[in-house]
Amino acid sequence: MNHVKHKGHEEHAVLVVNPGMAQFESALNDIRALERLAARDSPVQRLDPRAMVIVTAAFLITVVSFPKYEIAGLVPLVLYPAILVAVGNLPLRVLVRYLLLAAPFAVLVGLFNPLLDRAITARLGALAVSGGWLSFLSILARFLLTVSAALLLLAATGYSALCSALGRLGMPRLLTTQFLLLYRFIFIVADEAQRMVRAYVLRSRRAGGMPLRVWSSLTGNLLLRAYDRGLRVHTAMLSRGFDGFMRSRHTPHWSWLDSGFVLACAGFFLLARFGHPAELLGRWVLQVLR
Amino acid sequence: MHMADALISPATGGAMWVVSAGLALHAARKLRNEITERKVPLMGVMGAFVFAAQMINFSIPGTGSSGHLAGGLLLAALLGPHAAYLVMFSILTVQALFFGDGGLLALGCNVFNMGFWACLVVYPFIFRRIAGNRPGWSRLLTASLMAAVLALQMGAFSVVLETRLSGISELPFGKFLLLMQPIHLAIGIVEGLVTAALLSFVWKARPEVLDFTADARDRAKVSLKPVLIGFGAAAVITGGLLSWFASTHPDGLEWSMFRTSGREELAAPADGVHRSLSEAQKKTALMPDYEFPRPDGNREESPPESALQAEHWPAVKAGTSLAGLVGSAIVLALAGLVGLTVRLKRRRS
C-alpha cells in the first residue's frame, strides 16, 4: 500500500546485491539530495517558509480548480515552477527524477479516460480529439504542476524550517514535534535496518524478498532495537530539559519581500485562472499573422 | 493507495483536509496528558521504523511477487490509536514531500483512507475486541487479519468515493469499486499476516511494548462519542459536498442517482432536471466561449457526437482550441526562455 519504491542508483552499486539494499540507499539518498537543495542560497531559499506554504496551497488549489477538459488554461501556470527553478538555481534533473518516481498512479488511473470517454469534443483542422484524451492530457498537466509544486516547497524551505513554519501557521505543537522527530529517526533506524539487511543478504543465496518467517524476526528485532534506541534518546533529551516540544534555533522574519511574493503569486494565479492568458495571446498572435 | 492531486477536485480535497486535520487536533488533544511520558519519542522512532520496514521486502509465497508493510494497524497496536493516527499523518506527509507519493492537497484524503480507518476505527473496535489482553497466536492472527482486511476495504472504498466525487477520472463508480476492493482484499490478507507475525514476535520478546496488552485499566471501555462525532462531521461535510456536486455537476448527479435508485445507469432524461442543470451550468461556466473567426464567416458544423457532448460540458470549439494551442506554445516557450535567461545571468555573475 505505502509505496516507497525506488530504482537502483548507478553510483551506489558497490554493495547492492539485493534490490532491498538498492532501495535503502536510493531512498536515503533522495532525501539527502532534496535537503541539500534547500541549503542552497538564493532569493527563493531566503523567503519566509510561511510565504512558500501559503503560495503553494494557493497554487495547488488553482491547478485543481480548473474544469476537467482544461489544458490551455493550465499552461501559463508552468511559469510558477519554471521561475522558481530558475531563480532558486535548482537542478532540473532532480525535478525530472522526482516526477518520474511519482508518475505511475496518476498516469495509470488517467489512462482510463481516453478508453471510457470517446465523445469528440474538439477539432483541430481534420484532427478530431475525444474528450477522454483531453481530460487525460489535463490530468498529466495537473500532475506535472502539483508534484513539482510539492518538490519546490521542500526545496525552497527545507524540512525542519517547513515544519516550524507549519507550527507557526497553527499546526498543533505535538504534531510539529512528531514531524521533526520522525525525520531525525528515519536516518538512525534506516541505517540500522540497512546493516541488518546487508548481514542477511551476505549470508543467503536468495535474490528478491525474504521469506515471511525471516522477515518477521528480522523486522521484529529492528522494531525492538528502534524502540530501545528511542527510549535512550528520550532519556537523553529529558536530562537536557526536553518538555515535549522541539524548538527551532532561528525564526525567520516576515519581510515586505515575502508579502510582495505572496501578492504577486496570488495575482498571477487569479489571472491564470480567470483571464485565459494563453488563449488571448494565441488569438492575438493569429490575428496579427493574418 | 496514495491519491494524487491530479485526480481530485478542490472541494473533495479541501473537505477531506478539514476532516483529517480535525481528527489530528482531536488526537493531539487526547495525547496532551501523555506528552511528557515516553510516548512522544516513541512516536517518532516507530514512525521511522515503519518507514524502514516498508523498504524491506518479503516474498509472498506462491506468487513470486513481494510485498511490504503499510503499518497503520501495527502502529496502533504499538502506540495506541491516537498516537498512531498522528504518526501516520507524519509518515504520509514525508512521503508526499520527499517522494511525491500522494499529493499535498490529497494528503487529507490519504490520511483519512490509510490512517483514520486503521488507527481510529478498526483498531479500537475490531482488533482490541478480538485480541483481548493476553492473546495467543490464533487470536492475534484472527484479530490482525480481520482488522487489516477491514481497514484496507474501507480505505479502498474511500479512495473510490473520493475519486468519483472529484469527477476528474472517467472510471465509473461500480467498475472502479470492482477493481479496487478485490485487490485490496489480497493486500489486506498479506498485511494481516505480516502484522500478526510482527506482533507475535514482539509479544514473545517484549509484551510490555504493545498497547493492547499494556494494562487494561481504562482501555476496555473505549468511548464511542469522539468516533460518532467524527462520523457525524464527515457525513455532514460529505453531504454538503455531494449536494454541491449534484447541483452543478452531471456526474455527481448520476452518482447520487445510482445511490438512490440502486442502478448505475438510468435512461438519460431528455428534459427536466438534467437539461435545466446543464443549461444552468452553461450559464455559470467560468470559461466564456472564445471562438476564432473563420475567414469565410461560416461556423464549423459540429458533428452529432459533439452536439451530444455539448449538453454535458462547455464544448471546446475549434477556434478556442487553436488559439489555446498557439497561446500555450508561446507561454511554454516564454517560460523556458525566462528560466534560461535567469540561469545564464546567474552563471555570468
Q: Give the domain CATH number at B206.
A: 1.10.1760.20
On chain B, the residues whose CB falls within 8 A of the CB of A24 are 52, 55
Higher-pLDDT residue of A200 and B62 is A200
pLDDT at B60: 65
Query: Is B272 within a domain?
Result: no
pLDDT at B77 over 80: yes
Of residues B134, B135, B182, B128, the one with CA closest to residue B156: B182
pLDDT at A206: 65
pLDDT at B281: 45
Nearest to B86 among A149, A175, A219 (CB): A175
pLDDT at A248 over 90: no
**Could you tell me which residues come within 8 angstroms of residue B130 by beta carbon, excluding any fewer than 6 positions away?**
B139, B142, B143, B146, B147
Average pLDDT over residues B297-315: 43
| Shortest CA distance from B105: residue in chain A | A60
Split into its structural domains, chain B has a count of 2
Cell of A201: 543478504
Torsion angle of the four alpha carbons B164, B167, B173, B177, in this order, in degrees rounded to the nearest 10:
-50
pLDDT bucket at B234, cuts 50 / 70 / 90: low
Is-contact B114 A1, C-beta < 8 A? yes
pLDDT at B304 over 60: no
Total residues belonging to chain B: 349
Cell of B301: 458544423
B179 and B314 assigned to the same domain? no
Of residues B83, B239, B103, the one with CA closest to residue B168: B103
Average pLDDT over residues B37-47: 80
B91 and B14 assigned to the same domain? yes
pTM of the predicted structure, to 2 decimals = 0.75
Query: Is B256 within a domain?
Result: no
Higher-pLDDT residue of A78 and A1 is A78
Highest-confidence segment of A15-29, A73-87, B210-224: A73-87
B310 and B239 assigned to the same domain? no
B222 and B314 assigned to the same domain? no
Out of A80-84, A143-147, A169-173, B103-107, least confident range: A169-173
3-state helix, strand, coil in chain A (%, to 5): 70, 5, 25
Span A11-34, pLDDT tens digits: 333 333 444 556 677 778 888 888
Distance from CA of A166 to the nearest CA of B (A): 12
DSSP secondary structure letters along B306-341 = HHHHHHHS----HHHHHHHHHHHHHHHHHHHHHHHH
pLDDT at A260 over 50: yes
pLDDT at B289 over 60: no
pLDDT at A151 over 50: yes
**Could you tell me which residues come within 8 angstroms of residue B96 by beta carbon, excluding any fewer than 6 positions away?**
A150, B2, B102, B103, B104, B106, B107, B110
Nearest to B25 among A172, A224, A274 (CB): A172
Quick check: B46 and A1 CB within 8 A?
Answer: no
How far apart are the C-alpha atoms of A133 and A101, rounded to whole Å?
23
Cβ neighbours, 10 Å, residue A183: 21
Higher-pLDDT residue of B274 and A223 is A223
Query: Is B82 within a domain?
Result: yes
**Host domain of residue B195:** 5-248
Higher-pLDDT residue of B120 and B251 is B120
B137 and B218 assigned to the same domain? yes
Of residues A23, A121, A11, the one with CA closest to residue B68: A23
Q: Coil, helix or strand for A123?
A: strand
> How crowded is the C-beta side of B77, counted as CA atoms within 13 Å?
32
Backbone angle region of B107, left / alpha / beta, with phi > 0 → left and psi within -120 to 50 → alpha: alpha
Query: Is B266 within a domain?
Result: no
Average pLDDT over residues A55-74: 90
How far apart are the C-alpha atoms of A70 and A76, rounded to whole Å?
12
B85 and B169 assigned to the same domain? yes
B30 and B114 assigned to the same domain? yes
Average pLDDT over residues A264-268: 94
Query: Is B106 within a domain?
Result: yes
B77 and B159 assigned to the same domain? yes
Query: Is B267 within a domain?
Result: no
pLDDT at A1 over 70: no
| Shortest CA distance from B2: residue in chain A | A2
Nearest to B318 among A98, A123, A153 (CB): A123
Provide φ and ψ at A138, rounded to 5°: -65, -40
The complex's ipTM works out to 0.83
B318 and B190 assigned to the same domain? no
Query: Is B282 within a domain?
Result: no
Choosing among B68, B86, B170, B184, which should be mutated to test the A contact, i.e. which has the most A CBs within 10 A? B170
| Alpha-carbon distance values, A34 to A14, A96, A111, A149 (Å) | 23, 13, 30, 14
Backbone angle region of A129, left / alpha / beta, with phi > 0 → left and psi within -120 to 50 → alpha: beta
Specify the residue for cell string 482550441: B321
pLDDT bucket at B157, cuts 50 / 70 / 90: very high
- For helices B225-248 and B10-31, the axis angle rounded to 10 degrees is 170
Higher-pLDDT residue of A237 and B222 is A237
3-state helix, strand, coil in chain B (%, to 5): 75, 0, 25
Total residues belonging to chain A: 290
Query: Is B264 within a domain?
Result: no
Cβ neighbours, 10 Å, residue A40: 15
